[in-house]
Amino acid sequence: MEKLERREIIMMAGGAVAGAAVGTLFSGAPFLGLQWLVEWTQDQYVPAPGEEKYLQGRCLLCPSACALSVRMIGSRAVKVETANTGCYKPQLAIQMLYHPERIKNPLKRVGKKGSGKFAPVSWEEAIKDIAAKIDGLRAGGKAARIAAINGSAAYASGEILKRLVRASGSPNVYSEPCVNTLSAAATRLTQGQSGSIYYDFENTDYILSFGARLVEGWGDPGRMNRALVGWKERKARYVQIDTACTRSASMADKWVPVNAGTETVLALGIANRLISMGRLSGGANFAQWSQIVINDYTPERVAQITGVGVDAIKEIAREFATARNPIAVAGKGASAVSSSTVEFAAVQALNSMVGSLGRRGGVMLVDYPGLGEVAVNAAGAKGLDDFIKNGAADLLFINEANPVHRSVYGRALAEKLKKDTMVVALMPLLNDSAAYADYVLPTISPIEGEPVEPRFRAMHPADALLAIAKAVKGLENAFPWTGNKDIIPLIGRQNVKAAGNFTFPVELFRTYLAEISKKIGDKNYPLSLVPIEAPMVGDGDGLALPYVLKGLDAVTLTGSKLWVMINPETAKQEGVSEGSRIDIESARGEIGSVKVHITKTVAPGAVAIPIGFGHEFYTRYAEDKGVNAKEIMSDDIDPISGAADWWFTRVKIS
Amino acid sequence: MSGHAAPKKKVSDMKRLWGMSIDLDKCTGCGACQVACSQENNMPIFDDDSDLPKRVVFLDLMKVTNENDKDAKFGEVKVAYLPKMCMQCAGNDPENPHPPCVSVCPVVATDVGDDGVVSQIWSRCIGCRYCQASCPYEARVFHWWKPRYEGSFQEGLNPDVSVSSRGAVVKCTFCSHIWKRERDRMIAKGITDINAVQYTPACVSSCPTGAMKFGDLKDPQSPVYEEKLRRDPRAVRLVHSIDALRDTNPAEYERRMKIKDFPNPKVWYLTSNEWLREKLSGFKKS
């Protein structure tokens, strides 16, 4: 071996040091280190200080208009104090107010429809153009081609829009289905009156809910939470019939697990028991109806279909019949409600049989006179889904609504909107439906206008629609109001009517058992898909807000993957394990992939899927989070309400 | 050298000992407390907050079920929702409190005040995460990423709560900044008695059903009077099975209190469900 000189060793060591220095320099480590040093040593963002004050106002989210107080720092709103009105929604208002994707100006479409490319325009230009379109359609005898879709929470603006479209000569005003609109359709049939079903939750002592998730955003959430506290205080008994142990079922005194989609059958099974206990109704056609119930809905048969035992059915019937003020509640769902007229009729029949109809502590009817009716000489579709499927429009208003995402006919609607229809959308954030709009008009969030100054050039939707209405030729006298402040007090009025009459719609029940048995017996699709709602997400609106995403647990949404819940028995049958990725297929199509959470809180044979996810276009926070279950949900349109009964869908998984 | 006097106890005018009770029979799991907390305490906003390892929250809304019990059957399985935040532990001796996290913090970033609130000062934290490891309730979170508040979300930030930097541990402080705010207001009115001031944390004031109550554990008039809670058959503290021995086996209770330091939290849960009490306390009667 050659001997190394001292000199050579020094040179080699020097080379190694130089090489290491050059290597480190080019690795990027020094720069990253410097960046970290800067980040760790420099001060973080400090929120701007300012004078603290509290502004008093009213929440614009629902007709209850609860008082709230907003903590201001200078001109910034930092917190909403609600003084325990019972509602959780105002807590979201600050995030909506300062959402970075709020629409700043009225927008006009520049790209292809559905591309979501818009350019700002002035309010004047937008209003002039929209009013001109209405003028043109009216002058051309095509007034009936004007249509409007109101969100279920658009109350003041919804009334203005309804009046605008009807006064223009079109019957085509629709509302996204909610418990009020669905029950109103049923009531016209069974009680021959206008009005929605009004449950006297404040005075009842026994609540039998057929899948209506009463404390998860159902109806007026503030009222329902206050009612719940009242039930606990006065020991009213709350029984929840549900396919999964939902939040409402967990709050109930008793959870009655039922096979998916069989709530109506269970109601008729209970009716059968009530008849044999001698609890009869004085309603019209009761004799014929009771024959069907006695023959077809014996407790044994009902137990077999619903999965609720004979003894349990008898027990519920006994409790229901012996309570002082029992009410049976229909309208499955929470923020999103799906039901059928036959279901409302079956559940109202129970109320009729125990004498709860038209009574304090029981079930009455409620009317919202609003701004009054405008007569139109043409007939429109029966309901929103019926309109989307069969109707057509040249001008469509979408007001605080998102039918493209929420309706099971969303895809069909999107296709229609891509054609010649001029679409005007009113909303604070661009959503899946606004992507197809020609004009998007920015509206305010719930605490803006009053008490917080509106941001950008956003308007109260009622004011924006009033401005359009006043620009239409010949409608000047139909709108004597100056702004939303005149309208909101008119909208808040409600007339509760004690209507005790009831006509049993016998025809609806003759074929019902055969239809539902056929659906349940579908061998191609062995499982049932049922919807659930995640806290604060509701029917999808909440998903744009980051603090809502923060509240979702590890088996609802993780890293943009949605989870579904199935029973261990079903998992074994289907050969899936915790965390498996599956696709779900119905006769309408396929969605996927979703992850599986195996839990005994869901009935065997059911797949419980959170709704409100899978937005294609709704801020960076909501987009591409999970899948939209409505795409494959059942699309049978109820012939009376004209709304799709999407609750229960037969599916298979792979 | 003998005769050393015991370290003199700090004399304090403070008479309050803040505590909380959460009635789970009334909790619908709506999530308002979580949102109110996030808004009040400047929780960071990341692009995707469904990304769990990245998520920072002080208040966790937990779903609890008894379905993993051996005899749990479908239909009888129960579900409950549990808002869980920092339990503000005191240790065995509330007169001389030493919460598990405070004992291990090398830089006094976390300390316990004479009002019983366990503080946390983000800017003092060196990110060693000892406290996070020692916390029995996983109530502390570490900022692995720099907190972000995209665009105009910054407008909604509360100036009373400082924004944390990356590499610090953060946690619920019972909204003690609101207490500070209330004290300042009283002082402005000329009232300097600290015991005259009451306050309510953000989660409690947002609760739609009034399930959450807050007050002074030592005050018989308060909704969370500790002596009353101790006797309440519905009351339970999280993973604190020692409570069950207090009345049933005082000798064993004393023995265990001598050999181990228990967290002794100041948050009480109330429920009439036996299964939930067992699950929360970590103690099964059978």
Q: What is the DSSP letter of A207?
A: E
Read off φ and ψ for residue B250, nearest 5 degrees. -60, -35
Inter-residue contact A275 to A299 (CB < 8 Å): no
What does the pLDDT look like over A20-29, one tens digit per residue? 999 888 888 8
Please give the Cα distance from B213 to B269 (Å, whole number): 10
Superfamily of domain A201-361: Dimethylsulfoxide Reductase, domain 2 (3.40.228.10)
Least CB-CB distance to B74: which of A88, A554, A604?
A: A604
Torsion of CA A427, A429, A431, A436, to 10 degrees: 60
Please give the Cα distance from A410 to A111 (Å, whole number): 21
Task: Name B101's Cβ contacts closer than 8 Å, sequence gap at least 6.
Answer: B89, B110, B118, B130, B131, B132, B134, B135, B140
Q: How far is CA B129 from CA A103, A573, B53, B118, B140, in A?
A: 42, 45, 15, 16, 9
Interface mutation vs chain A, best among B26, B41, B50, most A CBs within 10 Å = B50
- Are the beta carbons of B73 and A600 separated by less than 8 Å? yes
Write the Ramachandran bin of A456: left for phi over 0, alpha for psi from -120 to 50, otherwise beta: left
Inter-residue contact A563 to A588 (CB < 8 Å): no
Task: Search chain A and give the residue with CA nearest B272.
Answer: A253
The predicted structure's pLDDT at residue A405: 95
Residue type, A552: L
Inter-residue contact A226 to A234 (CB < 8 Å): no
- Are the beta carbons of B163 and A232 separated by less than 8 Å? no
- Are the beta carbons of A45 and B149 separated by less than 8 Å? yes
Least CB-CB distance to B159: which of A49, A248, A546?
A: A49
Residue type, A455: R
Among A217, A189, A321, A308, smallest CA distance to A260 is for A308
Please give the Cα distance from B74 to B66 (Å, whole number): 11
b (16+ CB within 10 A) / e for A202-231: ebbebbbbbbbbbbbbbbbbbbbbbbbbeb
Q: Is the Cα dihedral A161, A165, A168, A169 positive or negative?
A: negative
What does the pLDDT look like over A514-554, one tens digit per residue? 999 999 988 899 999 999 999 899 899 999 999 999 989 88
Note whether B31 contacts A: Cβ–Cβ < 8 A. Answer: yes
Antiparallel, parallel or unpaired: β A206-210 and A237-242 = parallel
Residue A45 has pLDDT above 90, yes or no: no
Band (pLDDT 50/70/90 cuts) for residue A4 is confident
Q: How far is B29 from chain A (nearest CA, A)?
A: 7
- Are the beta carbons of A553 and B61 separated by less than 8 Å? yes
Least CB-CB distance to A100: which of B79, B152, B158?
A: B152
- Are the beta carbons of B67 and A48 separated by less than 8 Å? no
Total count of residues recorded for chain B: 286
- For chain A, the straight-line distance linking the first and the last C-alpha, in angstroms and rounded, comes to 69
Torsion of CA A31, A35, A37, A41, to 10 degrees: 160
What does the pLDDT look like over A192-215, one tens digit per residue? 888 999 999 999 999 999 999 999
The ipTM assigned to this model is 0.90
Task: Search chain A and give the residue with CA nearest B84.
Answer: A551
- What integer is the mean pLDDT of B231-251? 89
The predicted structure's pLDDT at residue A487: 86
Task: Search chain B and give the residue with CA nearest A36.
Answer: B166
CATH code given to domain A107-177+382-491? 3.40.50.740
Inter-residue contact B213 to B223 (CB < 8 Å): yes
- Are the beta carbons of A553 and B39 separated by less than 8 Å? no
Please give the Cα distance from A458 to A455 (Å, whole number): 6
More confidently predicted of A152 and B87: B87
b (16+ CB within 10 A) / e for A603-621: bbbbbbbbbbbbbbbbbeb
What does the pLDDT look like over A596-627, one tens digit per residue? 999 999 999 999 999 999 999 999 999 889 99
Residue B1 has pLDDT above 50, yes or no: no
Read off φ and ψ for residue A296, nearest 5 degrees. -95, -25
Peptide bond into A451 cis (omega under 30): yes
What does the pLDDT look like over A219-259, one tens digit per residue? 888 899 999 999 999 999 999 999 999 999 999 999 999 99
Among A262, A376, A455, smallest CA distance to B153 is for A455
Task: Tokens 């744009």: give the residue.
Answer: A544
Write the Ramachandran bin of A612: left for phi over 0, alpha for psi from -120 to 50, otherwise beta: left
> What residues does A196 pair with on adjacent strands?
A366
Q: Where are the alpha helices (DSSP H) in A324-378?
A: 341-353
The predicted structure's pLDDT at residue A288: 94
The predicted structure's pLDDT at residue B286: 46
- Are the beta carbons of B158 and A81 separated by less than 8 Å? no
What does the pLDDT look like over A262-311, one tens digit per residue? 999 999 999 999 999 999 988 889 999 999 999 999 999 999 999 999 99
Note whether B162 contacts A: Cβ–Cβ < 8 A. Answer: yes
Note whether B154 contacts A: Cβ–Cβ < 8 A. Answer: yes
- What integer is the mean pLDDT of B187-193? 90
Contact list in B for residue A257 (CB cut-off 8 A) is: 74-75
- What integer is the mean pLDDT of B59-86? 87
- For chain B, the straight-line distance linking the first and the last C-alpha, in angstroms and rounded, comes to 52
Note whether B205 contacts A: Cβ–Cβ < 8 A. Answer: yes
The predicted structure's pLDDT at residue B2: 44
Least CB-CB distance to B34: which of A49, A83, A550?
A: A550
Residue A394 has pLDDT above 70, yes or no: yes
**The CATH fold of domain A520-653:** Barwin-like endoglucanases (2.40.40)
Residue type, A424: V
Please give the Cα distance from A475 to A452 (Å, whole number): 32
Residue B94 has pLDDT above 50, yes or no: yes
- Are the beta carbons of A559 and B79 separated by less than 8 Å? no
Task: Tokens 């509240």: give the residue.
Answer: A551
- From the CA atom positions of chain B, what is the Rg in Å? 20
Please give the Cα distance from A181 to A155 (Å, whole number): 13
Task: Name A406's Cβ contacts closer than 8 Å, sequence gap at least 6.
Answer: A176, A336, A539, A540, A630
Residue B3 has pLDDT above 50, yes or no: no
Q: How far is B258 from chain A (nearest CA, A)?
A: 38
What does the pLDDT look like over A487-497, one tens digit per residue? 888 887 888 98
Q: How far is A174 from chain B (nearest CA, A)?
A: 29
- From the CA atom positions of chain A, what is the Rg in Å? 29
Band (pLDDT 50/70/90 cuts) for residue B243 is confident
b (16+ CB within 10 A) / e for A625-650: bbbbbbbbbbbebbebbbbbbbbbbb
Least CB-CB distance to B49: which of A88, A99, A549?
A: A549
Q: What is the DSSP letter of A637?
A: B
The predicted structure's pLDDT at residue B7: 55
Inter-residue contact A390 to A142 (CB < 8 Å): no
Q: How far is A3 from chain B (nearest CA, A)?
A: 51
Residue B6 has pLDDT above 70, yes or no: no
Percent of all residues in chain A with a pLDDT value above 90, rounded to a whole number: 71
The predicted structure's pLDDT at residue A486: 86
Band (pLDDT 50/70/90 cuts) for residue A112 is confident
The predicted structure's pLDDT at residue A262: 94
More confidently predicted of A27 and A338: A338
Structure tokens at B221: 């008039």
Note whether B159 contacts A: Cβ–Cβ < 8 A. Answer: yes
Structure tokens at B73: 């059957």
Interface mutation vs chain A, best among B35, B143, B234, most A CBs within 10 Å = B35
B window 55-114, beta carbon within 8 A of A: 55, 57, 61-63, 65, 67, 72-75, 77-81
Please give the Cα distance from B248 to B98 (Å, whole number): 26
Q: Cβ atoms within 10 A of the Cβ of A252, count?
A: 25
Note whether B168 contacts A: Cβ–Cβ < 8 A. Answer: no
Task: Search chain A and give the residue with CA nearest B154.
Answer: A47
Residue B203 has pLDDT above 90, yes or no: yes
Write the Ramachandran bin of A437: left for phi over 0, alpha for psi from -120 to 50, otherwise beta: beta
Q: Which domains does chain B have, with CATH numbers?
A: 18-281 (3.30.70.20)
> What residues does A425 pair with on adjacent strands?
A398, A440
Least CB-CB distance to A78: which of B30, B156, B207?
A: B156
- What integer is the mean pLDDT of A620-637? 92
- Are the beta carbons of B156 and A567 separated by less than 8 Å? no
The predicted structure's pLDDT at residue A512: 92
The predicted structure's pLDDT at residue A492: 75
Q: How far is CA A51 from CA A21, A454, A573, B159, B219, in A?
A: 54, 19, 63, 11, 34
> What residues does A532 pair with on adjacent strands?
A610
Percent of all residues in chain A with a pLDDT value above 70, rounded to a whole number: 99
Least CB-CB distance to A76: which of B26, B51, B156?
A: B156
